[in-house]
Amino acid sequence: MIEIAPQISHKGFFPLHKDGRCFIKIPKVGSTTANQVLKAGLGWEVCEGKMVDPDWECVALVRHPVDRWISGMSQWAQGASAQRVPLEESLEKMVFDVHTQPQAWWLEGVAPSLFKLESIQKLWAYLDVTTKVHNNKKDGRKHIFALDKGHEEKIKSYYADDLRLWEIAHG
């Protein structure tokens, strides 16, 4: 067994596995859908910690870093302990919790086949899963910031590794 994601200490996003395949869940990147479809619907099991068999085929969804950061910040801002932070200050700090940590951190230790969140049906086809489910909870709150091009460039620069992952992903 090998450990993935050594920088991550959150215990809620352990990978799922079944029949020699492993799905690495990343917060704000379809993890609710993966649990619903793979775990609840098809019997995939949660890995013990962040340990995966080196012989498993790993797959993961990735999301454009700007979209994910906005979604992650929206979720963080809705939390009980969160306070409103001005945009410029948010862009200086960038990482607030598990939902804004770089996606690349979750994939350390493996080289998974990557699929773009907006093309989740390609992942389902790859895994021979017949479903149209994607639990996208758009509710208008995710647009808590009005970003201009400079803000977006700053996010893309900070999450450059995530942007590269998104660019090479199937989609």
| Domain spans in the chain, listed from the N-terminal domain onward | 2-168
What are the tens digits of pLDDT across the range 99-116?
A: 999 999 999 999 999 999
The percent of residues in the chain predicted with pLDDT above 70, rounded, is 90
Assessment of whether the complete model's pTM goes beyond 0.85 = yes
Taking residue 135's Cβ as centre, other Cβ atoms within 10 Å add up to: 12
pLDDT of residue 77: 81
pLDDT of residue 81: 61
What are the tens digits of pLDDT across the range 52-89?
A: 999 999 999 999 999 999 999 988 888 756 567 888 99
